[in-house]
Chain A
Amino acid sequence: MPELTPIQEALEANFPCLAGKVVVPRPMQAFVEVPEESFRAVFDYALEKLGFDRLCTITGFDDVNSLSVLYHLSHPDGNMLNIRRRAPRDNPVITTVTDRFPGGANYERELEDLLGFEVTGLPKGPRYPLPDNFPTDIKPLRKDWKPPQPKKTAP
């Protein structure tokens, strides 16, 4: 059995629900899926105790049966921790992390615009990245949305 990295050890020791769930597929990259009720506690622990001080980006997914979000955090020592949370497809409501990372507002607006998440606590602002007149019921990064194909090609 491979040796656990310090990040794996710390997360599994402090959060029993993560036992065996922290995956390190390659050096300096850890992935963990966190139950929704523990997300904020794990996220704050990663920031305050493990020292992951930069939110690199947030990636949203349409996993067909549900939607999920991956928070990519980085540490000054070069390690990266990717924390995944899941939300039901018909009611994808998640809480904001802009109280900890104000620079992450646009990443969360992308989740709203492109995948249809509702991010509670996200400060008001213009939509991003779609234009103001883009239909609000179309969520382009959902798997069931196919972009219209052009009828003719440019000369």
Chain B
Amino acid sequence: MNCLRAQSEVSRVRDAARAIPPAVDRHLAACEECASFRDTTEALERRYRRQVRSGIDRLRRLDAPSFRPRRSLGRKLLVPVAAAVLVCGWGWLKAKPEGAAAPIAFAVSSKGTSPRSLLFDGAGLVENPPELSFLDIGEPRLPIRLEQELHRIGGSDPEIVLPRNLTFRN
């Protein structure tokens, strides 16, 4: 087996993700140039892939969609919960000097006054809770500009279906 053939086989093996044939393996063990081809190719591809993919990740982080902050449910609830805890504490302190053993829920209970206080009524079981927009867990959305473009194109209307044989020509 000559070097060109061996290197061609090495390249094929990389593309097909299969084991190196024994004949090629023997050649690689004896031929420094072909072994170098295998090692250099592998190292180059690995580093190149890593570089480009990390570049894509960086770009994605930098270009996070600005139309709606993507926050987890926990983070979305953090501010209202912290505020409610403060109100709770303040209510408890106000109630304490009068010697009343009012439950915390009583201190903040104000049915129908504020959606936030409803969260702390009783054991948190509230009938017909108000629709809180921040409970809408972020789904992937298109950026505004692209969204507008797609609207303009109008392909989103389920009534309008482009013909299947329509091909894209340049």
Q: Do chains A and B stick together as partners?
A: no
The residues of B with any CB-CB pair to A shorter than 8 Å are none
